[in-house]
Amino acid sequence: MQLFENFRIPNLLLRLVGHPEYMALKRACRNPRKAQELTLRSILTYAKDSVYGKEHDFEQILQSSTAEELFARYQMSVPAQDYEALRPYVERCMKGEENVLFPGKPRMYATTSGTTSKPKFVPMTTVYLKNVYKKMTHVWLYNFIRRKPKTFAGKVVFVVSKVVEGHTEDGTIYGAVSGVLQRDAPGLIRDHYASVPDIFSIPNYASRYYTLMRLTIEQNITLVVMPNPSSVVELQNSLTENYDEIVKDIENGTLSDKFEIPDELRESLSKNLKPNPKRAAELRDLKEKYGEVLPKHYWPEVQILSTWKCGNTQIYVDKFKGWFPDDCFYQELGYFATECRFGLVLDETLNSVLFPHMHFYEFVEESELGSKTPTFLLADQLEEGKRYCPFVTTFSGLYRYNMNDLVEAGPCFQNIHTVHMVQKVNGIVSMTGEKLYEGQYIQAVHEAEKALNMKTKFFVGFADISAMAYQFYYEFVNQQTSQEAAERFSEKVDEILQRVNIEYKAKRESFRLKDPRTHRLPKHSFARFKQDSIEDGTARDGQFKLNLLMQDEARKDKFDRISSDVDTQAVQEEPQSVAKPQEETREAEPRKLTFRERMALRRQQREQRRREK
């Protein structure tokens, strides 16, 4: 496949819009304390006449004569808060009231799951979208061509969530910011899209991925952006399962009728499809040559792959090592949440550069997260290697907003520390003071895999308050793994957790935490969970995230239903007892214990031994 010869034109245009914003970012980072003062004054001035601004004395805060006085007054007048504290104001906005959190009304709402059963509707103002998302997107794209000049020599695969999911009471749209950004990107970038954004509105999960692969595998792709790395795996799975069908579609210029696609979209897509027997022949040759056809085979010119790599997403990254061309640059997407575009990665590390001229940042050190009066640090007070929970103030009505994340400070960019995501703060689970970290659970599973020579494809853990025990779910590579072997695996995980977390060990030894419970999962359990979550409206595709350790009854119930398939299959496979003829009746033999009875007895014996010690 031939690369476009005119990639220098988009590169020139990106330099014209991206380089000035990149230099503005560098200037702000040289004097972050001054940049933060100016930014906070700008945000408070912008919102001082709003309902929230008047209630929290923004006008008086602005009378501060020094930066230190400004920061102190702001922290005294405005409480650190989560979304639930802001929800009443947001709901007033959604009913059409103006000037509640900021001047006028939001341009849209970004939606995500909340800590309660109600989703979050995060307002996005025109000012924020233009001055943060647009300008920092220019820096992001400009940085791509600095790293790889031929990034836009081919087409772009950009996996996002649905642009418009609905409208609020006053008619304002709500949906995914990523979808809006893709839709509203500069024309020179939209011209490079390998598919249309409407694909992400296809309701059926399998159909959406089939359609995306059918369209993109036919083209020469040079940039792949998928926020969640699990999407890389799922797209490849869709291709592997439907390879011959996709090749036939490409050969005939069709879109398979085996998949549910809305008629209007199917008709629109089909108008641009043409028979391509040459590409179909290339794809058949690839399958004959390699067996399993991977991105490095069908997209050999990919310059950059950008996904999240931090925190628990690393477990999915490991699944596609070696899939892309050797010279493909794999860049971390950066600290990017529904609430705000917090930072941007500019190099080969995981560390995001903050935007001190766009947001006002505060941080609480990890050791103080349980404190009722924590010390709030400013962006220029971080220390490399230490971990913090960030709070952010934006031009979109978030004031001292708790991001509920745990980030680690990295090296400085100019004079401000970079940060990278470690995990959600709610990835720290504690039922009785054990403070078990998601990262510790992941480490324990990987060590158990090596120790017992048992490989998992997917795993997840839940804190179960009712049982005062952790519930561990594993999808083993070997689907013939018995429940007894799975129990041994959990025992090893439990042993490692006690080694790496002294509080967990103390709670286990004192019997405040019971033995972990073990559940086996069938094939494709993660995909099934994700599809269920998308279909029932509790998650969106492009921004789907799953902590691997949590306390969440609704999600646990879903995995219970998925794991029940394994239990049902095990019962069906048990040999049926054969009745003996009456004449052969002998003295009754002691009944053999069932597997679950044996495991319960083992637990009782183990607890008895501990008591005796």
Does the pLDDT value for residue 537 go beyond 80? no
**Residue position matching structure tokens 């779910």:** 473
Query: Which pair of structure tokens corresponds to residue 295?
Result: 């991105």
8 Å CB contact between 293 and 239: yes
Higher pLDDT, 4 or 302: 302
pLDDT band for position 455 (cuts 50, 70, 90): very high
Which of 154-158, 319-323, 608-612 is least confident?
A: 608-612
State residue 588's pLDDT score. Answer: 39
The answer, as to whether pTM is greater than 0.75, is yes
Q: Which of 297, 332, 367 is the last residue of a domain?
A: 332
With respect to residue 306, please indicate whether it lies within any of the assigned structural domains: yes
**End-to-end C-alpha distance for the chain, whole angstroms:** 70
Tell me the C-alpha distance between 388 and 393, whole Å: 16
User: How high does pLDDT run on average in the chain?
Assistant: 88
State residue 573's pLDDT score. Answer: 41
Strand 120-124 versus strand 108-112 pairing type: antiparallel
pLDDT in tens, 339-373: 999 999 999 999 999 999 999 999 999 989 878 89
Q: Which amino acid is at 380?
A: D
pLDDT band for position 548 (cuts 50, 70, 90): very high
Q: Which of 332, 367, 389 is the last residue of a domain?
A: 332
Strand 304-307 versus strand 329-332 pairing type: parallel
Statement to judge: residues 155 and 270 lie in one domain: yes
8 Å CB contact between 172 and 105: yes
Nearest-Å Rg of the Cα atoms of the chain is 27
Listed residue (247, 255, 248, 298) closest to 273, CA to CA:
255
pLDDT in tens, 207-262: 989 999 999 999 999 999 988 888 898 899 999 999 999 999 999 999 999 999 99
pLDDT band for position 576 (cuts 50, 70, 90): very low
Tell me the C-alpha distance between 163 and 329, whole Å: 28
pLDDT band for position 33 (cuts 50, 70, 90): very high
Q: Which residues of 295-321 are buried (b: 16+ CB within 10 A; e: fewer)?
A: bebbbebbbbbbbbbbbbbebbbeebe
pLDDT in tens, 366-404: 989 878 899 999 999 999 999 999 999 999 999 999 998
Statement to judge: residues 398 and 482 lie in one domain: no
* Number of domains the chain is built from: 3
Statement to judge: residues 519 and 418 lie in one domain: no
Q: Which domain holds residue 121?
A: 10-126+338-426
Tell me the C-alpha distance between 509 and 166, whole Å: 51
Statement to judge: residues 110 and 181 lie in one domain: no
8 Å CB contact between 301 and 307: no
Statement to judge: residues 233 and 373 lie in one domain: no
Strand 456-464 versus strand 352-354 pairing type: unpaired
Tell me the C-alpha distance between 498 and 516, whole Å: 12
Does the pLDDT value for residue 541 go beyond 80? no
The torsion angles phi and psi of 224, rounded to 5 degrees, stand at -125, 120
Statement to judge: residues 121 and 143 lie in one domain: no
Listed residue (140, 147, 333) closest to 228, CA to CA:
333
With respect to residue 213, please indicate whether it lies within any of the assigned structural domains: yes
With respect to residue 261, please indicate whether it lies within any of the assigned structural domains: yes
Listed residue (246, 197, 192, 196) closest to 224, CA to CA:
192
Statement to judge: residues 112 and 135 lie in one domain: no
With respect to residue 585, please indicate whether it lies within any of the assigned structural domains: no
Statement to judge: residues 485 and 606 lie in one domain: yes
Statement to judge: residues 504 and 601 lie in one domain: yes
State residue 589's pLDDT score. Answer: 42
- DSSP states of 321-371: TT-S-TT-EEEE--S--SS---EEE-SSSSPEEE-TTT-EEEEEEGGGTT-
pLDDT in tens, 51-98: 999 999 999 999 999 999 999 999 999 999 999 999 999 999 999 999
With respect to residue 439, please indicate whether it lies within any of the assigned structural domains: yes
**C-alpha torsion 488→490→495→500, nearest 10:** 150
Q: Which amino acid is at 542?
A: G
Average pLDDT over residues 301-306: 96
Q: Which of 311, 332, 353 is the last residue of a domain?
A: 332
Statement to judge: residues 136 and 76 lie in one domain: no
pLDDT in tens, 168-205: 999 999 988 777 767 666 677 778 888 888 888 888 87
Residues linked to residue 406 through DSSP beta bridges, in sequence order: 423
Q: Which amino acid is at 247?
A: V
State residue 583's pLDDT score. Answer: 39
State residue 603's pLDDT score. Answer: 57
Listed residue (220, 221, 190, 285) closest to 247, CA to CA:
285
**Residue position matching structure tokens 């999911």:** 165
Question: In sequence order, what are the residues at sequence separation of 6 or more whose Cβ sits closer than 8 angstroms to the Cβ of residue 483?
Answer: 518, 520, 570, 595
With respect to residue 462, please indicate whether it lies within any of the assigned structural domains: yes
Strand 343-345 versus strand 352-354 pairing type: antiparallel
Statement to judge: residues 121 and 139 lie in one domain: no
Statement to judge: residues 401 and 468 lie in one domain: no
With respect to residue 5, please indicate whether it lies within any of the assigned structural domains: no
With respect to residue 492, please indicate whether it lies within any of the assigned structural domains: yes
